[in-house]
Structure 1
Amino acid sequence: MNDMTEYSNHETRKTIRKRRYHPVLNMLLCGVIGTACGLGGGWFAVTHLGSASTVVYQSAETAPSVQTNVNNTDGTMTISEAASKASPSVVEIIVEGTVTNYGIFGGTYTSTGAGSGVIISETGYIITNNHVVKDTNKITVTTYDGKEYEAQLVGTDAKTDIAVIKITAPDLIPAVVGDSSKISQGDTAIVIGNPLGTLGGTVTNGVISAVSRELVIENESMNLIQTDATINSGNSGGGLFDGNGNLIGIVNAKDSGTTSSGASIEGIGFAIPINTAMDVASQLMESGRVTNRATLGVYLDELTRSTQHYKAGLYITDIIHGSGAEAAGLAAYDRIISVDGTEVSSYTDLSRIMRDKKIGETITLKIERDGTEMDVQVTLTGTLDTSTEQG
C-alpha cells in the first residue's frame, strides 16, 4: 500500500478507476529476485513497528575519494582496502510471503525473494529498500560471517523506497556513513550486495556517473546517484560506497534492456543518496514512519484519458480527517489542475512538486469542480494517522 497519509494512488469505491503511471525508460527495481513455491507468484506483507535509541556511525571528515585504483601508492585506499572496510556491514536478505492465486489452478502459496541491506548500528538496525521487504511474512538476514537471523520490520517509506529492519545479533559492524552531498562526477563508486539472490558479498566498482539524476520509479519522482558499477537483481538495498569505503548511497534501480532504436543499455545503475536515506531511516527507527514530510491529506486517482463524464487528469477520491485538504474544503471528484501555477496532470507531477514543500506552508491549488475552476488555499500538515480512516 502506498503512503496514504500524503496523497496516494488508492483503490477507491467510487467510479473513477485507478490507472498506474508507468515510468519512462525501462527502469527496473533491482532488489527482489523471487520464486514461488507452487503455481502462484507475487509479493509480500507485514508491519511490525518498533523503536529504540541507536548509534549511527558517521564518517570522519575526509577529502573526496576521487579515483581509487587497484594498487595505490599515494596513501589513499585501494579498491580492495575500501571493499574490506565496507563488506562486513552488508547483509543478504531473504523474504517470504503468502500469495493467493485466483486462476484455474488457484490456491495459496509461499513466495520467496532476495535482496540486500546495510547495517547502520551496532544495535541491529539495517537499512534496505521498501520494495525488498514490503508485504512480507518473514525476513531472514545473513550477515558477513554467514550467520542467519530473523529480522523484524521497523518501518517502510514507499516515496523514497527506504525501509529499516532490525536483528538481534552480537558483534555487528555498522557501515561508516559518508556524505552524499560531497561526491563528484568521476569519483570512485563501489557496489556491494547480493546479486541474483545467491552471490552475497559481491563487489563491483566503477565511477559516479551523475550525482543527481531525476527519475520516475513506481510513480515517484526521485533524485538518484547514477553509477556505472555493475548492478543486478538482488543488489537492491545494498550499499554504494565511495573510494574510502564510506556509505554514500542505497542501491535501488538499474536501467536495462534496449532503446527505441534497438541499442543495448548497459552500465546504468542508481542509488538513493545516503543523506536522504538516513534522514528517512532515522524517522523510521524513531516512530516507524516518516514524520517531517508535508502532505495534502488526500487520496488520489489518475485518469489517463478522458471519458464521457471525466476529463483526463488527477482526481481527489477522498479526504483524510484532520488534513489541510479537509480544512480547505477540498472534496472527492475535484480535479487538480495546478499547484502554485505549475500544471499537474499526473500523480508524478504532484509528487515532484510536493517533494520540496514544508509542513505549515500554504499552497494554491487550482481545481475543477462540477465544470467550474477555482483556486483553493491549502496549508500543508505533516503525515497523519490513517489507521481508522479506511476499511
Structure 2
Amino acid sequence: MYNDENNLYNYTYRKDGSELSHQRETIRPGGQQPGSQGPEIIEVKPVKKNRLGLKITALALSCALLGGAAGGGAVWAASHYGGGNESEINVSSRPATQVALRNVDGKTAMSDAEVYAANVNSVVSIRTSATAGYNFYRQPVETASAGSGFVLSKDGYILTNYHVVKGAETVTVTMYNGDEFPAQYIGGEEDYDIAVIKVEAENLQPVTLGDSGTLNVGDHVLAIGNPLGELTFSMSGGMVSCVDRAINVDGTPFNMIQTDTSINPGNSGGPLFNQYGEVVGIVSAKYSQSSNGTTVEGLGFAIPMNDVFSMVKDIMANGYVSNRAYLGITPQTMTESWAAQFHYDVTSGVFINYVEPDSAADKAGLKMGDVITKVDDTAVKSVEDLNLAKKKYSAGDSATLEVYRPDGTVTVEITWGAAPKEDQAAQQQETQQYPGNRNDNSGNGGYYGNPFEDLFRYFYG
C-alpha cells in the first residue's frame, strides 16, 4: 500500500504500514545480519518534511554530472555494496526538442507540437456566472461554469458556443499568458450553437480559419481547450471519424464533424484544428452514453466552420444573424393520428398550422393545412428535418418545396426570407438576462434530444 505523509509516498509491504514507524531503523546492505562484518551501516529516518523539490534538484544535478562524466551519453557504473557486480544504467544524451514557431499558411503541414505553439495564444478560457434563483433564506444562488473559445480578430472578438454563455450575467476571458478581461456578449445563434463575445484588448493573436469542406475521414485533428474547467490549455488529438454527421440535440438538428479526439466538459467552444493549424470546427458535444446506459468513448462532435462562417461575420457586424433563412410558418410534425383526423394520405412531413402574413411562405402561396414533404431533393418527415434542410440556405436563396394537399401534391417555388430582427433581439435578451443551466458546471444540466435522447450532452463549459 501507499502511505501519504506530507505529500510523499512511501511503499510498504504491510497493509497497516506498521514498519514505517517513527523509530530509527537500520538497513544492512547485502543481507548481512547484525554482528557480522561488512560495509558501513546506512541509517534511515522517516521523512518529516516535504523534500520533493530538493529531490528533483538532486536528480537533475545527478543526471548532469553523470552526463558530463560519461562524455555526453553514456554509462554510469557502480558496484553493489557486497556483491562486486557491475550494473550499468544507460542515460540518453539526446538534447531537448526545439519546437519551431511556424506561421499558419494553409500549405505547410505541421507537427502537433507546432500546431500547439502556433495557436495556444489564440485559445481562451471562459468563466461565467449567473444567479439561478434564491434559497430558503431568499439569498441569491450563484452558479458558475467554464468553457473555451478562440480569438477571431486582433481587436478582441472571440467565438464560442452559445450554450457556454447562455444565461450568463458575467463572462470572464483568460488568455494563455494569464491576462484576464471581462467580456461583452455581442450576439449568437442558438440553432447553430454559436456566440460571439468581445473583450477590450489590442493586438491579440487571431486563429486562421480553414475550409472544413476539405476534411476527409481519417484526417488528423487536434483540440485545444480547458477540460473540466481546470486543466487549462490542454491539447488532445485524434482523427475525423465522419463528416456531415447529422445529430439531433434537444429537438435541434445539427450537422457535425465526428471525431475520436478526447472531449470533456470545459472543451465546449474551443477550436478543432487540422494538420495545417487551421480551425475547421468548434468543439461542441460528446456522445457519452447509449440508451441502455452503456458508457462509450471516442465519439465527439464539432460544428463545421463552413456552416457558420457567414453567420459569425454577420454577428460581428450586426449583433445578430440577419441572413438566416426564414419561412414564416407555425409547423407541426405530421403523425398517423393527425392523418386520420384530417383524412390525409400522408403520415409524415411538416403540417402547417399557421402562415404569417407577408412572409416567404405567404408569398409562395403556402396555406394552413399544407404538408411539406420535401425541400429540393431532401425528404422532410418532421419539423427537425425541415429545420436541418433550412440550414443549407440563406435569406434570398430559392428552393422548391413538395407540398401535399388533400386534392393532390404540388410543387411550390419559394424564396427564403430573413428572420425578423425582433426574434433575434428576443434571443439576445434571453441570453443576457436568464440563466440557461445548459452550462451548469455541476453536471446536472441537461441538453438532450431525440432520436438520441439521453445520449448527447452539450457540454456546459
Gaps of at least 5 residues in structure 2 are: 1-102, 427-461
Tell me, yes or no, if structure 1 residue 62 matches structure 2 residue 98. Answer: no
Alpha-carbon distance, 1:117 to partner:
0.6
Aligned-pair CA distance for 1:201: 0.8
CA distance in 2, matches of 1:166, 1:121: 10
Q: Give the equivalent residue in structure 1 for 2:193.
A: 161
- 1:90 aligned onto 2:130: no
Letter in 2 for 1:91: V
Query: 1:313: Cα distance to partner?
Result: 6.0
Q: Specify which of 317, 331, 334 is matched with residue 300 of structure 1.
A: 331
Distance 1:214 1:312, change over 3 A: closer
Residue of structure 1 in register with 2:419 after alignment: 384
83-92 or 145-154, which deviates more: 145-154
Q: Which residue of 1 aligns with 2:398?
A: 361
- Residues matched between the structures, number: 318
Q: Distance in 1 between matches of 2:307 and 2:404?
A: 32
Give me the identity figure in percent: 35
Instruction: Name the aligned partner's letter for residue 264 of structure 2.
Output: N
Q: Call closer, same or farther: CA 1:329–1:99 in 2, change over 3 Å.
A: farther
CA deviation profile, 1:232-261 (whole Å, cap 9, x unmatched)? 01211001112333222110111111365x
Map residues 160-179 of structure 1 onto 2, 5 A cutoff: 160-179=192-211
What corresponds to 1:71 in structure 2? none
Distance 2:238 2:200 in 1: 34
Distance 2:218 2:288 in 1: 22
Q: Distance in 2 between matches of 1:119 and 1:292?
A: 23
1:346 aligns with 2:382: yes
Partner of 1:265 in structure 2? 296
Give the structure 2 partner of residue 204 of structure 1: 236
Tell me by how many angstroms 1:116 deviates: 0.9
Alpha carbons 1:215, 1:224 under 8 Å: kept? yes
8 Å contact from structure 1 (residues 86, 241) kept in 2: no
1:210/1:227 contact within 8 Å kept: yes
Aligned to 1:265, the other structure's residue is in SS state: coil
Cα deviation, residue 281, structure 1:
0.9
C-alpha distance in 1, partners of 2:302/2:324? Answer: 21
Q: RMSD of the alignment, in Å?
A: 3.4
Aligned 8 A contact 2:402 2:411 in 1: yes
Quote the offset at 1:337 in angstroms: 4.4
2: distance between equivalents of 1:390 and 1:80? 42
Structure 1 counterpart of 2:310: 279
* Cross-structure match for 1:255: 287
2:123 equivalent to 1:78: no
* SS in structure 1 at match of 2:325: coil
Shift of residue 126, structure 1, vs aligned partner: 0.5
Cα pair 2:370 2:403 within 8 Å, conserved: no
Residue number among 228, 241, 264 corresponding to 2:273 in the alignment: 241
Partner Cα distance (2:425, 2:211) in 1: 40
Higher fraction of helix: 2
Q: Which residue of 2 aligns with 1:192?
A: 224
Asked if the contact 1:296/1:381 (under 8 Å) is kept, the reply is: yes
Taking structure 1 as the reference length, the TM-score comes to: 0.70
Equivalent residue number for residue 232 of structure 1: 264
Cα distance between partner residues in 2 of 1:295 and 1:304? 24
Matches within 5 A, 1:91-110: 91-100=124-133, 109-110=141-142
Unpaired segments ≥5 residues, structure 1: 1-57, 66-76
Question: In structure 1, how many angstroms separate the alpha carbons of the residues matched to 2:138 and 2:407?
Answer: 48
